[in-house]
Amino acid sequence: MGNIAYSSWGQYWEAFVYERKAAPDVMRDPTFDPNFGFAEPRKERVMVATEAEMEAANLTLAERDFCAHLLIDWKKCMRSNFPCYWRCYDQKHHYHECEAHDSTLRYKEYERERRLKLRWLEVRGLDPNGNPLPQKKVHA
């Protein structure tokens, strides 16, 4: 996590109204073990582009993500093929494909964290807002 995953009003509604205690804080690291629930350890994502390469390419902070190496290639291609940008279609396609995949992974991680928090609250007898669950009445 760590990246901002707010993309629609639904997540704001979850975080501030409907599920205050269960909604993950996107500005912090995950609270659960990333390998919890998996038989084998998950592969950790690594940055391909180094900080020096991103500095040299003048990437903004928003562009410095797991797809930065593809963005650097695309920008390099555009500089070398100016004004014939259509020659860089492949680099552009690979970059946008990587961004879509990265976004999907972040949404999946957000949802996994939210579901684990809901489960954690339910085990402790709390609702998604942190209030105690009503006791079930037993009719005799």
Average the pLDDT over 64-80 and give the result.
95
Do the Cβ atoms of 1 and 105 come closer than 8 Å?
no
- 3-class SS of residue 7: coil
Domain boundaries, the chain: 29-123
In tens, the pLDDT along 10-66 reads: 666 666 677 778 888 878 888 888 888 888 998 888 999 999 999 999 999 999 999
Do the Cβ atoms of 20 and 130 come closer than 8 Å?
yes
Average the pLDDT over 111-115 and give the result.
90
Nearest Cα to Cα of residue 64 among 75, 77, 52, 54: 54
pTM for the model: 0.76
Q: Which residues of 47-67 are buried (b: 16+ CB within 10 A; e: fewer)?
A: eebeeeebeebebeeeebbbb
